[in-house]
């Protein structure tokens, strides 16, 4: 395959920009070592990046005996991205600078309608709100990333399938294009969350991390890379792998799926069916699960339900471990965050019982670190990944 000079130049830019982006600060010498490029090439590319306003020299570090080395860092002021979390229970729109520092957030409950048109309108309203709040031109955004629950197929057809929202083949991109001129990316929220935890959270420093996303639906993403810079991630419909023969009916039409045992609605239903359970005070799913977690502090039906949840979750994780041998499993998602602190020890114990010991021994199971903003933050990484891969901003409406 022949590469033109321009391709080569872009590849070099992408490699150096990616390295600078993922390090706190990098010197030209470090960049030479990391990229294998000559000192001259590094200098040329770095001056381009500085001239374009993407990178700045910030102070210097002492080198042994020689003159101090200038350190390079990406400039947060270069531009902003939006990350959107279309969740099962809420929509969150976050404005971040492109180094992923949060600048403004808007959150909306999805109480009334899950209709794609209505969801898209809410998202567009949110983008207007957060950009207006900090005085950013929405058309000048570097990109907009959207995380949706369920399998988002982003191919030539751009169709979104999100069973938890009742969406089957929705052209979300077309609906959002009515108000978004910046490059637009849509992906599965387990994947965006995985990327967020890998870049900024509990997956940092690992080479194979599985992020288990617990909500009403249940999903998992595998993120791999020598460090965060090489992340590629794949998602799976982990929630619909069977953990019980002839088990509880699942909304996918099968029986005994993991989601039918560890999904938020499934946990609440299982609790209410138990003798001795008491009605919830709250009306929404998130608050009810929080009530359940609080009730589990004393022995009784709530504690029993969460014990059982931990066992099934441990089995689900053990299956992932035996298939994919990760070095880290991160329990995330809003439900993971709510019940995770209560069930983590039991989940670890169950996973240890069910996984091959030599695979379990190289593994740590941890809670996600990024809290409720993680999916929006992860969605904001989608345009950034593209910018890093291109070595610079992606033109609006460019083919993906």
Helix (H, G, I), strand (E, B) or coil at 316: helix
Nearest residue (CB) to Zn ion, 248 versus 287: 248
Q: Does 252 bind Zn ion (CB under 5 A)?
A: yes
Nearest approach, Cβ of residue 150 and Zn ion (Å): 12
- Selected binder of Zn ion within 160, 222, 250, 350 (CB under 5 A): 250
Distances from the Cα of 259 to the Cαs of 56, 101, 164, 215, 365, in angstroms?
A: 47, 33, 11, 9, 19
Nearest approach, Cβ of residue 162 and Zn ion (Å): 14
* Listed ranges 74-82, 139-147, 240-248, 285-293: which one lies at the site for Zn ion (CB under 5 A): 240-248
Q: Two tokens at 334?
A: 């809003």
- Selected binder of Zn ion within 257, 296, 331, 370 (CB under 5 A): 257
Name the H helices within the chain. Answer: 5-22, 28-35, 39-51, 116-134, 172-177, 189-200, 259-262, 264-272, 285-295, 301-324, 334-354, 357-360, 374-390
Nearest residue (CB) to Zn ion, 163 versus 392: 163
Nearest approach, Cβ of residue 220 and Zn ion (Å): 14
Nearest approach, Cβ of residue 269 and Zn ion (Å): 15
CA distance 193 to 126: 20
- Selected binder of Zn ion within 13, 19, 191, 240 (CB under 5 A): 240
* Listed ranges 49-57, 244-252, 363-371, 387-395: which one lies at the site for Zn ion (CB under 5 A): 244-252
* Listed ranges 121-129, 245-253, 318-326, 383-391: which one lies at the site for Zn ion (CB under 5 A): 245-253
- For the chain, the straight-line distance linking the first and the last C-alpha, in angstroms and rounded, comes to 21
Q: Identify whether the C-beta of residue 355 lies closer than 8 Å to the C-beta of residue 71.
A: no
Give me the residues paired with residue 233 across strands: 223
Nearest residue (CB) to Zn ion, 228 versus 250: 250
Q: Identify whether the C-beta of residue 222 lies closer than 8 Å to the C-beta of residue 194.
A: yes
* Listed ranges 23-31, 54-62, 114-122, 249-257: which one lies at the site for Zn ion (CB under 5 A): 249-257
Nearest residue (CB) to Zn ion, 179 versus 247: 247
Closest CA to 334 of 274, 284, 296: 284
Nearest residue (CB) to Zn ion, 45 versus 317: 317
Nearest residue (CB) to Zn ion, 313 versus 370: 313
* Listed ranges 209-217, 223-231, 251-259, 317-325: which one lies at the site for Zn ion (CB under 5 A): 251-259
- Selected binder of Zn ion within 254, 256, 367, 369 (CB under 5 A): 254
DSSP 85-126: EE-SSEEEEEEEETT--EEEEEEEE--S---HHHHHHHHHHH
Q: What is the dihedral of CA 219, 387, 90, 234, to 10 degrees?
A: -10
* Listed ranges 45-53, 145-153, 238-246, 336-344: which one lies at the site for Zn ion (CB under 5 A): 238-246
Q: Does 255 bind Zn ion (CB under 5 A)?
A: no
In what helix (H) or strand (E) does residue 70 lie, and over which residues does it extend?
strand 69-74
Q: Which DSSP symbol is given to 230?
A: G
Nearest approach, Cβ of residue 258 and Zn ion (Å): 8
Give me the residues that bind Zn ion (CB under 5 A), please. Answer: 240, 250, 252, 254, 257
């Amino acid at each position: 395959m022949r590469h033109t000079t321009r391709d080569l130049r872009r590849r070099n830019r992408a490699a150096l920009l990616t390295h600078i982006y993922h390090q706190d600060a990098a010197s030209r010498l470090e960049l030479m070592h990391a990229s294998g490029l000559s000192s001259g090439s590094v200098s040329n590319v770095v001056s381009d990046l500085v001239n374009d306003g993407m990178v700045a020299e910030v102070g210097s570090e002492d080198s042994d005996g020689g003159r101090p080395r200038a350190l390079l860092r990406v400039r947060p002021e270069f531009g902003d991205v939006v990350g959107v979390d279309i969740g099962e229970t809420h929509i969150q729109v976050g404005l971040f600078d492109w180094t992923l520092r949060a600048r403004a957030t808007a959150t909306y409950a999805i109480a009334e309608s899950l209709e794609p048109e209505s969801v898209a309108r809410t998202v567009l309203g949110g983008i207007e709100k957060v950009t207006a709040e900090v005085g950013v031109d929405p058309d000048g955004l570097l990109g907009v990333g959207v995380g949706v629950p369920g399998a988002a197929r982003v191919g030539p057809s751009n169709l979104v399938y999100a069973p938890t929202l009742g969406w089957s083949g929705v052209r979300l991109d077309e609906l959002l294009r009515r108000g978004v001129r910046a490059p637009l990316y849509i992906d599965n929220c387990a994947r965006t969350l995985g990327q967020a935890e890998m870049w900024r959270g509990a997956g940092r420093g690992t080479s194979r991390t599985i992020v288990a996303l617990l909500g009403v639906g249940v999903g998992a993403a595998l993120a791999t890379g020598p460090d965060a810079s090489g992340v590629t991630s794949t998602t799976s419909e982990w929630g619909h792998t069977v953990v019980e023969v002839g088990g509880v009916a699942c909304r996918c039409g099968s029986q005994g799926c993991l989601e039918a045992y560890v999904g938020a609605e499934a946990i609440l239903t299982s609790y209410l069916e138990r003798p001795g359970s008491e009605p919830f005070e709250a009306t929404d799913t998130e608050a009810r699960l929080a009530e359940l977690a609080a009730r589990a502090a004393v022995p009784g039906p709530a504690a029993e339900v969460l014990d059982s949840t931990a066992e099934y979750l441990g089995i689900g994780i053990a299956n992932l471990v035996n298939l994919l041998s990760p070095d880290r499993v991160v329990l995330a998602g809003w439900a993971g965050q709510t019940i995770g602190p209560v069930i983590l020890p039991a989940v670890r114990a169950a996973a240890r019982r069910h996984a091959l010991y030599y695979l379990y021994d190289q593994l740590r199971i941890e809670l996600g670190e990024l809290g409720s903003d993680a999916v929006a933050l992860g969605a904001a990484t989608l345009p950034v990944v593209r910018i890093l891969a291109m070595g610079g901003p992606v033109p609006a409406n460019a083919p993906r």
